[in-house]
């Protein structure tokens, strides 16, 4: 079994037994030394460490996890890797988790609840110490699995609804509402909407619902809307605005389902020489870099995506009662409204 290398390079096949034997100690002693747990003499420590090094020993976490109680894995389930929002959240989570000695294991649902269910079941079979999932909407079975797994579960990026254990996010409904009130307060009245497939992106749907009802409170309604059947993208926003204005040329403002779409709209206006905000105002959602750096910074809502990942991860690694944390959002008054 031992597969030693003169230079002490790990080989992946050396076992703790090999190390113990080479060091002339028992397995349990070797185990204690390697994990710095329990007690052992300095001399023993040396010989075990030397043996491990010279044999190129790499501990087998699979075996370690099985023998001990909890694993050091944390499952993370997100809808997409294309929408920068999720890599951002992942980044926050990753930093905290790795810092706490955990290993993130991610799965991507493509915005499908059925897939989410399958993936979560599969992740659960690795007996993770915790689970982080995007959103509050899941199949009944998913919720049941999560509940009964007896691990910490964090639901992220949304606070409009009830969660299972930990909830960290912000109100998409409120964000939509704030966007509408902003446009109305600026004097816009003929307001359109360009969005993407809302049946899949439930948080975008909540924003639009919040937007709608805030308009209604002001006695207004969405004057025209254009929904593209695919997922959001800059091109989709660009084309979508083109079509919307074709049908409803008298709009004075357009609300987009997110910044990608809005930047697309912005590009459409630039290309067609449509004055912003004089002729048309534009409002987005997310506060992406590209939106901030544009010649006219986009009016939008900045969401604390990285912080959501961090906070969620921190809570997943901790004990405590179920919690709900609303990290809020920030309305950016850019130059496009």
Partner DNA sequence: ATGAAAGCGCTAACAC
Partner DNA sequence: GTGTTAGCGCTTTCAT
Interface residues with DNA (CB under 7 A) are 1, 15-17, 24-29, 31-32, 34-35, 37-41, 43-44, 57, 59-60, 63-64, 66-69
Nearer to DNA, 19 or 74 (CB): 19
Residue 274: CB atoms within 10 Å: 16
Contact between 293 and a second copy per CB under 8 A:
yes
Nearer to a second copy, 197 or 235 (CB): 235
Q: Which does 148 bind (CB under 5 to 8 A by kind): a second copy, DNA, none?
A: a second copy
- State CA 210 to chain mean position distance: 22
Instruction: Out of 235, 248, 274, 323, point to the residue binding a second copy (CB under 8 A).
Output: 235
Contact between 287 and a second copy per CB under 8 A:
no
Least distance to DNA, CB of residue 147, Å: 19
Nearest to 179, CA basis, from 23, 333, 18, 47: 333
Enumerate the H helices of the chain as residue ranges. 16-23, 27-35, 42-55, 61-67, 85-99, 113-124, 140-148, 172-185, 202-217, 234-247, 259-272, 289-293, 305-316
Contact between 9 and a second copy per CB under 8 A:
yes
Q: Which does 113 bind (CB under 5 to 8 A by kind): a second copy, DNA, none?
A: none
How far is the C-alpha of 334 from the C-alpha of 292, rounded, in Å? 8
At residue 214's C-alpha, the angle toward residues 237 and 307, to 5°, is 65
Query: In the block, which residue shows the tokens 């389930």?
Result: 77
- How far is residue 230 from each of residues 156, 240, 266, 269, measured CA to CA in Å? 23, 11, 19, 22
Window 56 to 115, contacts with a second copy (CB under 8 A): 56, 58-63, 65-66, 71, 81-82, 84, 87-88, 90-91, 94, 98, 103-108
Nearer to DNA, 34 or 129 (CB): 34
Instruction: Out of 7, 221, 250, 319, point to the residue binding a second copy (CB under 8 A).
Output: 7
Q: Are the C-beta atoms of residues 76 and 106 closer than 8 Å to each other?
A: yes
Nearer to a second copy, 11 or 220 (CB): 11
Contact between 222 and a second copy per CB under 8 A:
no
Nearer to a second copy, 24 or 114 (CB): 114
Max distance between CA atoms of the chain, in angstroms, equals: 85
Q: Which does 41 bind (CB under 5 to 8 A by kind): a second copy, DNA, none?
A: DNA
How far is the C-alpha of 276 from the C-alpha of 31, rounded, in Å? 67
Q: Are the C-beta atoms of residues 294 and 324 closer than 8 Å to each other?
A: no
Least distance to DNA, CB of residue 21, Å: 10
Could you list the residues that contact a second copy (CB under 8 A)? 3, 5, 7, 9-13, 56, 58-63, 65-66, 71, 81-82, 84, 87-88, 90-91, 94, 98, 103-108, 121-127, 141, 144-145, 147-151, 233-235, 238, 263-264, 267, 270-271, 289-290, 292-295
């Amino acid at each position: 079994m031992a597969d030693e290398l003169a230079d002490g390079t790990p080989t992946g096949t050396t076992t703790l037994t090999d190390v113990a034997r080479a060091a002339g100690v028992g397995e349990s002693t070797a185990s204690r030394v390697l994990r710095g747990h329990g007690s052992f003499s300095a001399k023993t420590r040396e010989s075990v460490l030397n043996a491990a090094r010279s044999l190129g020993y790499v501990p087998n976490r699979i075996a370690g996890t099985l023998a001990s109680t909890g694993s050091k894995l944390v499952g993370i389930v997100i809808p997409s890797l294309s929408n920068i929002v999720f890599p951002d959240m992942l980044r926050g989570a990753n930093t905290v988790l790795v810092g706490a000695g955990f290993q993130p294991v991610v799965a991507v649902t493509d915005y499908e609840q059925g897939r989410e269910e399958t993936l979560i079941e599969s992740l659960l079979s690795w007996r993770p110490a915790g689970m982080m999932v995007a959103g509050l909407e899941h199949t009944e079975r998913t919720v049941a699995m999560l509940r009964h797994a007896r691990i910490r579960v964090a639901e992220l990026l949304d606070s409009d609804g009830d969660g299972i254990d930990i909830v960290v996010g912000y109100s998409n409904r409120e964000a939509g509402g704030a966007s509408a009130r902003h446009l109305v307060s600026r004097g816009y009245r003929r307001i359109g909407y360009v969005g993407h497939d809302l049946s899949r992106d439930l948080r975008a749907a909540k924003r639009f619902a919040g937007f709608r009802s805030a308009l209604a409170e002001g006695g207004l309604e969405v004057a025209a809307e254009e929904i593209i059947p695919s997922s959001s993208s800059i091109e989709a926003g660009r084309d979508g605005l083109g079509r919307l204005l074709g049908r409803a040329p008298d709009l004075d403002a357009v609300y987009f389902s997110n910044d990608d779409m809005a930047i697309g709209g912005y590009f459409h206006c630039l290309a067609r020489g449509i004055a912003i905000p004089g002729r048309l105002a534009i409002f987005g959602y997310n506060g992406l870099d590209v939106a901030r750096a544009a010649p006219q910074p986009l009016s939008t809502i900045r969401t604390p995506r990285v912080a959501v990942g961090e906070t969620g991860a921190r809570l997943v690694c901790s004990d405590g009662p179920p919690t709900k944390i609303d990290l809020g959002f920030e309305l950016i008054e850019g130059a496009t409204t």
